[in-house]
Amino acid sequence: MITCDFAILPVGCDSTECKDYVTAAVQVVKDSGLNFQLTGMGTQIEAESLKELYEVIAEAQEAVFKVGVGRVYTVIKVDDRRDVEKRTLNAKIETVEKMLD
């Protein structure tokens, strides 16, 4: 399982408000059917392949352009762990929570 945290930042907007851009990008992720978690600073997704992951992020980036911005800056962090089967976003959180108890 490949996990990713990404953020698409519109550049050159007339406002500091980003909710329309975020909504457009997250809608693409939601429509993809991939498991995801929206956070206050980005979106985390799980995918079976890098190709699948990058395709969804590319579509999300295009959706932000369609909202009406001429430039975006996209930050992508990928954890492609192949020594453990199906290491999900929730499993990573559960591991740390167990250690905190």
21-25, 55-59, 90-94: least confidently modelled range: 90-94
- What's the full length of the chain, in residues? 101
20-34, 68-82, 86-100: least confidently modelled range: 86-100
pTM for the complete prediction? 0.88
pLDDT of residue 46: 95
Residue type at position 29: V
User: Which residues are CB-neighbours of 56 under 8 A, at least 6 positions away?
Assistant: 28, 29, 32, 34, 45, 47
Give the integer Cα–Cα distance in Å for 78 and 53. 9
Taking the domains of the chain in order of start, what are their residue ranges? 2-100
The predicted-structure confidence for 23-56, as pLDDT tens digits, reads as follows 999 999 999 999 999 999 999 999 999 999 999 9
Hey, what CATH class is 2-100 in?
alpha beta
